Structure 1
């Protein structure tokens, strides 16, 4: 049967062949918008970063920042945020709970897995200077990124609340005065199509403004079979498209910059049942044998899961975002910057989170007397949510003699609304279960106010080699919660809650750096950070959880040696957390909950290196973190107990590593060829904090070791005076499969697995 052609299909076709439609047009010089250096052939390039809110060399910035260029993203065919996981030490980006498209970001072991709108992350993501606070708001592809900065460790002074783990800063390309086009298309395993186009429209007439437009589409089939559904709706499938635009004008001392983006993504998550309690295994196993399809339970991956008939499993997320930036350079002593941001998320995260579905006997059926009905451990037939935020940041910065300074003010206004509808079947015997229907609706209004200042001193007597920096930040958070929960088994219970809370924090920073030679810098820094308190909104009546605070100590070295043929960066750190916020599924209340774990200490080190030897280049990174609970008070049988000696750090690998190498050679008129191979991985990590709280995790205590071998051949050449790129690649060549997320629902523990081996080919053109 022929499928109807939708408007978005026409759009995809247009993106894919966009380059061909303009091939006959006159060629124009193309400006990527990146800051370039005049380098001798074979030298290692530097990248300009804004990790301290000013533009400076990454190698001269006295903190742990991994600078990733657009060229690196293109070479490794990285199109989504999760691809960054290999490019920085101590960084892990995996799948968030409830949605296969939302990235869960951990830096130095600190992060969160939840996509629920009441949860605020520990790693801040900034797009063009605007904070994007929810994982589902970061589901876009990366076709238009000029650079990425991974700031490792607490960043509380300049980047504010919710950066106790670190921050990721994404900078999109600037519009250019000259017109040009960059278009890319790739096709790979499971019908994966990625197509993007960036059109530089150049200057508008004689005005000072230049315009840029971008578009992308990304779709693929799934790999976790769902009987009765097409491969385009199997677990792992996604369907995404988006648009972006920017207009920028420089009028003497004033620069105006307006950027916006839109993205829509539909995805399907392939949950599988990993383990079960004795009664859970007996009930769902018997139900599967006697009344309905098989409900397989056990460690896999099986890449098979029967979907509950009460949900299609489709998670849909739409995001809108924009930034309006004004820069006014009064003099060297004073520049004024205003960043106004808006973002909205409209999502509905449906899913068969219980890992399967069958038919079984229910003591309280929907239709009285008809006790045989669909059963699963956990299904979310409907989960609409909406987030709106407005932010305003004002900065004053400049240089006065030996001093540089930055003073700023920040305002954040957010409202989230979410309704979570779930159906859970809890077996009470090997043959009978009780059905629980629950619908929780909540709204949270948040307002945050902050003032911050940072002063740096480069004394003349040290000839600019020494810099001492100090900073302070005051933050006040106000939140209001309204929530209602309706829960039905044999009777219906309705609960409601309203409350207001306020938290504040004073953060600080002190650092010193010394440029031993023009190529070698050492630094030391101490800083604090703060993550806002909040509500476990789905659990009506639960007390708020407290803010998480961190104090971090770090020492490091950055070096470019042997005429910039060897780059070696080292760092060592210790971070002490108080009231660490830990996320886990509570099998008593059947909800995800954040709790404060008391005190924890994280220690570790990181290494980044690049070696350039003629036409050969090697790069790699290594990160190690060793966390330890100092105090973790939890109610055990109603008695407050310190469980620090029993608690694990879920989703925190002790080791992260990556090594890559490439050989590039000139083939004359045929162009240049690059052969590259990479290996990256993460050591094993626990699936849950306390096995006593979720006993099924004893059957699956670890996620599994991450291991990815990849290889690619890249051909760059000229065709009709156009710059062309072609690439063939393979990812996860060893077909390593590890658990990306797991949760214990009492009767069943369910989870998701990483993507299987895949291959592809890509083609790009620049005009």
Structure 2
């Protein structure tokens, strides 16, 4: 497990969940293509870039112990007032929450203070970005045992790429966020209670989608548009652009709110009962257009005569609307004896979801130039993705750690088990053509799983511990809403892990390391080809390691570094054969890629704090994070993703710096001022890519934030 403390989050000014990945090895959190809220979360190479609501995510994201069922809602977690962030790698499920195959990210908010406090923080930076955050702690309210805190955040910025057809507030990268969080806590000795509420309204325009490649057919077809002057390649590029000429989008809106109540009761000094009850709701309107303005092309209007006329054409657009709400209940019994610590629990989760997403795109029909003199032709299509579903999960779990009376009681043995039952149903409405009466496809199924965890750890000294672990995980099967409700099997994982946790030289050096080997069966892999296909019978192995080092060699200086490495390989990846003269199914395991997975991730940081002055303390910090090459589609087959190699991320690099003057006494409080810079080298970091396949003929990439500068100011009273 990796943990980021409140001090680290504040010091690095991490305001959203995406920045967490830069500090944790083998973790990537990327804003999805065409969205201001969706997050593609990967841990040790396992994740899910597809926001389809009928898919479970292999990475669990928790807020104060509550599982969030949708990756599209996770991007709304602006980190307004956290106590810490924990990253758990590998299969999870025997200790709390949902069963996941890849890992979990847990966000824990700060507890209310016993004393009254008001804190205000704000900042201004490049692209007219500014934010203001105010938090208030009531302190203990008399002798009631009750205290509360409330936080409000507003953050906004103009776009980071100039679209000549849009105002600054609708340029790609524009953002406007309002977030509210409140916590009420009571402590009456044996009984403790906590009620939380959070709300996040996130509006903006996704980062620019830039055309990176076109097929020969796509080049010929779009070159006919007067808007491109006869050259479709004029819009193709492999660098982040400062200025673009694209259609104006109305902006996206994503709203999330939730509430939870946690109760704890000490039955005795050795046994505690705990309950977490929650309700969450997510709604998003995400119009997305991958198009240049005013594209015109010859479109077939009658297949019997091949009559055509010039019409407006578009590579792809989708005015997506999604909604989801969930309820969950988790009940735990936590206990301990002299040699045994244990937790046993029951878990219930239910979500209902719906998506309405009319797609608009132009299918390329080919070059018909010949005796009839026909130009390359297209066909405008408007398929509608319209479905709703329900998922219910029941689970019983338990985990116990035993310390046997041998080896000076330095050995611990942990065993855990979980039994899960998932019930799912879906209704998909299929339209033969826009305006037609839809046909309804309804399906339901039940999936069961037993997973386990076994760990042995040994404390060689008070500061050095090693461990070995074997564990299994499970990701429920379900239905591919884009594939006519095709049923897919559960994904299963078995992981083997050894590790070291250590401190040396009076805690001036900390070294944590882990090596792992994970086998996945029936891996659920999304792949795009003019619509999202799905491969659910791939098998793969994921070997890798992580190393994290923190050192304080001299007074005031802190050095930290980490490296993560994962080198997965498919053992089987059956796919339909694009060659009609060959076998119906071929195995592409030797050429298939792992979408969104870099082999290496690194982070290097240094911070130096000068001795405190009478008027404050000055500190300097530098961070450098990298990740290696990534593909964005599994297949390179010509019938699926022929342009996959043209949209790769060659590797991410981010150099950031910060200077802070803290503990400045002002009146009855203190002030802190910081100046910062992000992506100092202005590296073109590719965040996402889509190859729309041979029938649409284009592929493109999204780029991350360019170089930015800013200042932050914080007052505490």
The TM-score normalised by the length of structure 1 is 0.87
Do the aligned partners of residues 159 and 137 (structure 1) sit closer, same or farther apart at CA in structure 2, a change above 3 Å counting?
Answer: same
> Deviation of residue 598 (structure 1)?
2.3
Question: Which secondary structure does the structure 1 equivalent of 2:428 belong to?
Answer: strand
Deviation by residue 1:540-572 (Cα, 9 ceiling, x = unmatched): 2x4211111100010001011100000000110
From 127, 132, 137, the equivalent of 1:190 is 127
Give yes or no for contact 1:345–1:388 (8 Å, CA) kept in 2: yes
Match of 2:562 in 1: 621
Aligned partners of 2:165 and 2:247 also within 8 Å: no
Match among 84, 98, 101 for residue 20 of structure 2: 84
Counterpart CA distance in 1 for 2:290 and 2:51 is: 13
Find the aligned partners of 1:130 and 1:695 in 2 and give their Cα distance.
Answer: 38
**Per-residue deviation, 1:354:** 4.8
- SS of 1:74 mapped into structure 2: helix
Map of 1:761 onto structure 2:
711
Is the 2:647–2:689 contact (alpha carbons within 8 Å) kept by the matching residues of 1?
Answer: no
C-alpha distance after superposition, 1:72-126 (max 9, x if no partner): 1111111000010111110111122331332211110111112232232111000
Show the counterpart of 1:169: 106
Q: In the alignment, which of 579, 582, 592 is matched to residue 525 of structure 2?
A: 582
Match of 2:671 in 1: 724
Q: Equivalent of 1:75, from 3, 11, 34?
A: 11
Within 2, Cα distance between the matches of 1:97 and 1:524? 38
Indicate yes or no: 2:514 matched with 1:571.
yes
Which residue pairs with 1:338 in the alignment?
A: 275
1:405 Cα shift? 1.3
Counterpart in the other structure of 2:470: 526
After superposition, give the CA deviation of every residue in 1:644-665 in whole Å (9 maximum; x if it has no partner). 1111112111000000001101
Give 1:101-500 correspondences, 5 Å limit.
101-138=37-74, 139-159=76-96, 161-269=98-206, 270-289=208-227, 296-308=235-247, 312-354=249-291, 358-364=295-301, 371-380=309-318, 382-428=319-365, 429=367, 431-488=376-433, 494-500=438-444
Unpaired segments of 5 or more residues in structure 1? 1-64
Confirm or deny that 1:742 pairs with 2:689.
yes
Distance 1:305 1:495 in 2: 41
Task: Decide whether aligned partners of structure 1 residues 107 and 210 sit closer, same or farther in structure 2, where only a CA change above 3 A counts.
Answer: same
Q: Return the alpha-carbon distance in structure 2 between the equivalents of residues 357 and 689 of structure 1.
A: 33
1:662 to 596, 607, 621: 607
Mapped partners of 1:338, 1:355: distance in 2: 53
Q: Is the 8 A contact 2:633 2:644 kept in 1?
A: no
1:705-724 correspondence runs (5 A)? 705-716=651-662, 717-724=664-671
Kept in 2, the 8 Å contact 1:313–1:351? The answer is no
The secondary structure found in structure 2 opposite 1:363 is strand
SS of residue in 1 equivalent to 2:560? strand
Q: Tell me whether 323-332 or 653-662 shows the greater mean CA deviation.
A: 323-332
Greater shift, 388-397 or 110-119, is seen at: 110-119
Cα distance per residue 1:240-264 (max 9 Å; x no partner): 1111111000011000100010001
Q: Is the 8 A contact 1:739 1:752 kept in 2?
A: yes
What CA distance in whole angstroms lies between the structure 2 residues aligned with 1:706 and 1:179? 43
Alignment RMSD, CA only? 2.1
Distance 1:288 1:657 in 2: 47
SS of residue paired to 1:579: strand
Displacement, 1:349? 1.3
Count of matched residue pairs = 693
Match of residue 700 from structure 1: 646
Q: Work out the CA distance in 2 between the residues paired with 1:319 and 1:527.
A: 33
Per the alignment, in what secondary structure is the counterpart of residue 681 of structure 2?
coil
Match of 1:114, SS state, is coil
SS at match of 1:670: coil
Instruction: Give 3-state SS (helix, strand or coil) of 1:73's partner.
Output: helix
- Structure 2, unmatched stretches of 5+, are 368-374
Show the counterpart of 1:733: 680
Q: Distance between the aligned counterparts of 1:700 and 1:162, measured in 2?
A: 36
Match of 1:684 among 629, 635, 647: 629
Check conservation: 2:631, 2:644, Cα contact below 8 A: no
On the 8 A contact 1:442/1:538 being kept in 2, the answer is no
Cα drift, residue 643 of structure 1? 1.5
Aligned to 1:605, which of 523, 545, 548? 545
On the 8 A contact 2:677/2:709 being kept in 1, the answer is yes
Three-state SS of the structure 2 residue aligned to 1:137 is helix
Distance, in Å, in 1 between the alignment partners of 2:354 and 2:390 is 9
Shift of 1:494: 4.3
1:640 aligns to 2:585 (yes or no): yes
* Structure 1 counterpart SS, 2:459: strand
Partner of 1:19: none
Aligned equivalent of 1:517 = 461
Instruction: Identify if the C-alpha distance between structure 1 residues 288 and 548 changes in structure 2 by more than 3 Å, giving closer, same or farther.
Output: farther
**1:609: Cα distance to partner?**
0.7
- SS of 2:95's equivalent? helix
Where 2:409 maps in the other structure, the secondary structure is coil
CA contact (8 A) 2:301 2:308 kept: no
Q: Distance in 2 between matches of 1:714 and 1:370?
A: 65
Contact kept, 8 Å, 1:560 with 1:567, in 2: the verdict is: yes
Q: Tell whether the 8 Å contact from 1:419 to 1:442 is kept in structure 2 after alignment.
A: yes
Distance 1:165 1:682 in 2: 19
Q: Give distance in 1, aligned partners of 2:268 and 2:535.
A: 49
Which residue among 533, 537, 559 is the counterpart of 1:593?
A: 533
1:355 positional shift: 6.7
Supply the distance in 2 between the matched residues of 1:599 and 1:624 (Cα, whole angstroms).
Answer: 20
Matched with 1:47 is none
Q: Is the 8 A contact 1:345 1:387 kept in 2?
A: yes
Cα 1:133/1:593, change in 2 over 3 Å? farther
SS at match of 2:163: coil
C-alpha separation in 2, matches of 1:583 and 1:670? 56
Task: Specify whether residues 593 and 97 from structure 1 end up closer, same or farther in structure 2 by C-alpha distance, changes over 3 A only.
Answer: farther
Q: Is the 8 A contact 1:354 1:748 kept in 2?
A: no
Match among 692, 697, 702 for residue 752 of structure 1: 702
For residue 513 of structure 1, give the secondary structure of its aligned residue in structure 2: strand
**Aligned counterparts of 2:162 and 2:221: Cα–Cα separation in 1:** 23
Partner residue of 2:370? none
CA contact (8 A) 1:293 1:358 kept: no
- For residues 681-703 of structure 1, the C-alpha deviation after alignment (integer angstroms, 9 at most, x for no partner) is 10111232111043442551521
Shift of residue 326, structure 1, vs aligned partner: 0.3
Q: Is the 8 A contact 1:558 1:568 kept in 2?
A: yes
1:158 is paired with a residue whose SS is: coil
* Secondary structure of residue in 2 paired with 1:279: helix
Q: Are the equivalent residues in 2 in contact too, given 1:293–1:359 (CA < 8 A)?
A: no
Distance apart, 1:752 and its partner CA: 0.8
Q: 1:224 to 1:162 in 2, by over 3 A?
A: farther
What secondary structure sits across from 2:527 in the alignment? strand
- Post-superposition offset of 1:642: 1.8
Query: CA separation of 1:605/1:537 partners in 2, compared to 1, >3 Å: closer, same or farther?
Result: same
SS at match of 1:352: strand
1:146, 1:372 → 2: CA distance?
Answer: 59
